[in-house]
A and B are shown apart, each in its own frame.
Chain A
Amino acid sequence: MFTVAVYCEGPAESGRGALGVAPGELLSDADLGAAHVLIRRALESFEPSRARDLEFVQPLFLRGAPARGGQLLSRANLRKLLAWPDSKRAPRLCALIVDEDGQRQRLKDLRSYVEGIPPPLTAIAVAVREFESWLLADHQALASLTSQRIDSGWDVETLEPRRAKEHLRALTEQLRADSTVAAAHRLIAEQLRPEQLRSVCPSFQRFLDELRACLERTP
């Protein structure tokens, strides 16, 4: 089993949240969000053997609850969240996905925050400007899912902060009416063409590079 714990800012990325599952324990498919789907698809493309054994686990908590939003941006919190005290409970790999929010030095900062923490290694993604930008990357997939004409003129990584969230909210109104935000985002993540996402979002490509590098260093 190749276990991965994914730390995200909220349900838009990590799904509805798995109530009652202790850190280190396996999440069910229903607990997963768009971020898990993107990681699974990435592994399928460059580490198919590990992808077959892939299971996601509940990340560590902060004071008894999942860490959310800005809690993931502080050095003190990140070291608490990513230093697994008991290797028997630890996943093989961690992934941290946060929004850039116009803070260009964020990736550098986060890397310095987690320096020296013993394994599992953490692959860090800073989505430019935000995670929703990645979900807007493939107009064709979005058009097919939402049955709407999509303006293909966006450069999703140069949108003003929060604009990607707003665009995605407007586009997924119908999808969200049938399910939840987390489920709608997960559906998009499942339908995105990876090559399109990689070419439109350099921040996603950077994450893939980091994920691959961490996998190479993970026995």
Chain B
Amino acid sequence: MAVESLAGAGYTPRMDGPILKSIQFENYRCLRDVRIEFEPLTVLVGGNATGKSSVLRGACGIQRVANADRWMQQPTATVTVRRVLVGNSQNVFVATAGLPGQTQVADRGVRTQLIELDLAQLRAANTLANSTRLASNGANFANTFVSLPRRQQIELAERFCAIVPMYRDVDMLTIGSGYHTLRFQDRWNESVWYTPDQVSDGTMLVLAYLLLMYQQPQVELVAIEEPERGLHPFLLGELVQFFRAMTRGEVGPHPVQVVLATHSAGILDHIEPREVRLLSRDRQSGEVRVETIDESTQNWRAAYAAHEHSLGGIWLSGGIGGVPSR
């Protein structure tokens, strides 16, 4: 379970701003000396191997590192990940040479969740068990669904069917020997149900993302790897709208900070420029650099207008970074 649970008893969630304000990485993987600031919704873009996944892990709290996780795999490099949380509370992880590391300062806890869904796991039948939070790879998907109160199952199914209108309901199917799986009812023929291996990747993923809002206890920060996988471009706007609603507390019990890593121009088209972090590697040293968009310049305004306010289009022009280069 990729869920860090550092919150003390009696903690009351709130989100006047982001829970996680910034992280300073030192010698963690390709993040040799990187500071990154966060918004309630933050989107990381960059070429492959530019540290997006490492930032997601850092956002969710690192518990231990191996030598392979140190800058250039140098065993003597000290890894430091300093998270600054709401109220300037700090959470500092340090791993000196040869040691797996530990959290040395934890002024305030934060419940986080890393989502890197594995479609095979997501489709897998589960042995019946209570599960109130989705596993990082989605392996307990069926159990998390069935553990919801019936009212929430119905609400989730309705939300899902509004987005993927080929279905009219979602339910559970017991398949013997204590196993059960999800099933999806055909929109046009109510006697036809589909099992997870009969529905599209996007179908499984959309349902899993919607499920996040019903988790108990709800996390304060969720970090999601490539949420666009398998989704039709028309759905990306709805997905971003859903994540934004999570950050505002409009869905779920309280606001949840969301960090996304994406290669999708379609996702970016629904994001505000200030929410984007562009990651790239320095051509000489290989260090990751993180850039933000300066919206105050005449150049930016002219280019943004030329692209008809398509952040995805302007990113694909290559003019703001976050694109591969040799």
Contacts and interface: CB of A to CB of B under 8 A. Distances in A.
Interface stretch (A75-83, A102-110, A138-146): A75-83
A89 interface: yes
Contacts of B302: 79, 83, 85, 116-118
B297 interface: yes
Contacts of A116: 302
Q: Which of B297, B298, B302, B306 has the most CB of A within 10 A?
A: B306
With a 10 A CB-CB cut-off, give which of B265, B280, B319, B320 has the most chain A CB atoms. B319
Interface string A61-72: 111100000000
Contacts of A61: 316-318
A86 interface: yes
Interface in A1-49: 19-25
B325 A85 contact: no
Please report whether the interface of chain A is mostly helix, strand, loop or mixed according to DSSP: loop
A89 B316 CA distance: 14
Contact of B317 (A25, A60, A87, A118): A60
A207 interface: no
A85 B317 contact: yes
A60 B325 CA distance: 13
A117 B297 CA distance: 13
A136 interface: no
Contact of A85 (B280, B283, B320, B326): B320
B321 A89 contact: yes
Contacts of B313: 63, 80
B319 A87 contact: no
Contacts of A118: 298-299, 302
Contact of A60 (B283, B318, B324): B318
B303 A85 contact: yes
A64 B317 CA distance: 6
Given A23-B317, A84-B319, A89-B321, A79 B306 contact: yes
A84 B303 contact: yes
B14 interface: no
Interface centre among B303, B318, B321, B324, by most chain A C-beta atoms within 10 angstroms, is B318
B317 A80 contact: yes
Contacts of A63: 265, 313, 316
Contacts of B297: 86-87
Interface string A84-125: 111101100000000000000000000000001110000000
Contact of B320 (A58, A76, A79, A86): A86
Nearest to A81: B317
A127 B170 CA distance: 63
Contacts of A85: 293, 299-300, 302-304, 314, 317, 319-320
A62 B319 CA distance: 10
B320 to A, nearest CB: 5
B299 A90 contact: yes
A21 B314 CA distance: 17
B299 A60 contact: no
B324 A22 contact: yes
Contacts of A89: 319-321
A20 B324 contact: yes
Contacts of A117: 302, 306
B299 A83 contact: yes
A161 to B, nearest CB: 30
B307 interface: yes
A83 B310 CA distance: 14
Nearest to B295: A85
Nearest to A65: B316
B316 A84 contact: no
Contacts of B283: 25
Nearest to A80: B306
Interface string B165-191: 000000000000000000000000000
B197 interface: no
B317 A62 contact: yes
B314 to A, nearest CB: 6
Nearest to B300: A85
A90 B297 CA distance: 13
16 contacts: A19-B326, A22-B321, A25-B283, A62-B317, A64-B318, A79-B306, A80-B313, A80-B317, A83-B303, A85-B293, A85-B302, A85-B303, A85-B304, A85-B317, A117-B306, A118-B302
Top-8 shortest CB links A-B: A23-B318, A85-B303, A22-B325, A20-B326, A79-B306, A83-B303, A64-B316, A83-B302
Given A22-B280, A80-B317, A84-B303, 17 more contacts: A23-B319, A23-B323, A58-B318, A60-B317, A61-B318, A64-B323, A79-B306, A81-B317, A86-B320, A86-B321, A87-B297, A89-B319, A89-B320, A90-B299, A90-B319, A116-B302, A118-B299
